[in-house]
């Protein structure tokens, strides 16, 4: 890896070259996004089955429900989930690039998002099977690595606010 030139911190002061830990975290974050997109592509062919299972589960719990209403609500929930998921991916990528550029607040946001991702990832592992499990485990490990790398000593020092020099 080549040495990165000094970059300005948020107040315009120069900080040293970006540490390799920050670069590693950046690429681990990118890898988690890519695996997330692969997961969506693997899941997409099963969307009709997932939708049908959700409708049947709702009707099994209360057979008096209107099937067309349940179908509409289920479709709306799936579409909303996809839209929200895409917005989260875009926001995550923005924060990843801002973190790489030295924004400590973006690193904190990523840590929170990543922590939630680890939590939901662990919960999701309980129901994952086959190809989804083969994607979920590496994605979870990459996510943990990305979070840890952002807070290693060299990264912490690089993100530390600089004192103005006189």
Q: Please give the Cα distance from 6 to 15 (Å, whole number).
A: 6
pTM of the model: 0.79
Taking a C-beta distance cutoff of 8 angstroms, is the pair 30, 97 a contact?
no
Looking at the predicted structure, is the pLDDT value of residue 82 above 70? yes
Domain range list for the chain: 18-159
How much of the chain exceeds pLDDT 90, in percent? 42
Beta-carbon contacts of residue 124 (< 8 Å; ≥ 6 apart): 136
Phi/psi for 7 (5° steps) reads: -125, 150
- pLDDT digits over 121-150, tens only? 898 888 777 777 888 899 999 999 999 999
Helices 67-100/104-125 angle, 10° precision? 140
| pLDDT higher than threshold 70 for residue 44 | yes
Length of the chain as a residue count = 166
């Amino acid at each position: 890896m080549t040495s990165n030139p000094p970059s300005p911190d948020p107040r315009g002061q120069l900080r040293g070259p970006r540490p390799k830990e920050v670069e590693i975290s950046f690429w681990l974050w990118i890898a988690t996004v890519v695996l997330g997109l692969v997961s969506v592509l693997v899941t997409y062919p099963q969307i009709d089955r997932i939708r049908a299972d959700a409708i049947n589960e709702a009707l099994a719990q209360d057979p008096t429900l209107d099937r067309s209403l349940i179908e509409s609500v289920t479709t709306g929930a799936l579409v909303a989930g996809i839209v929200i998921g895409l917005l989260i991916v875009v926001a995550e990528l923005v924060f990843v690039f801002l973190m790489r550029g030295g924004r400590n607040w973006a690193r904190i946001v990523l840590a929170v998002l990543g922590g939630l991702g680890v939590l939901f990832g662990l919960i999701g592992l309980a129901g994952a099977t086959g190809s989804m499990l083969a994607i979920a485990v590496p994605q979870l490990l990459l996510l943990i690595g990305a979070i840890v790398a952002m807070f290693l000593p060299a990264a912490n020092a690089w993100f530390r606010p600089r004192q103005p020099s006189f």
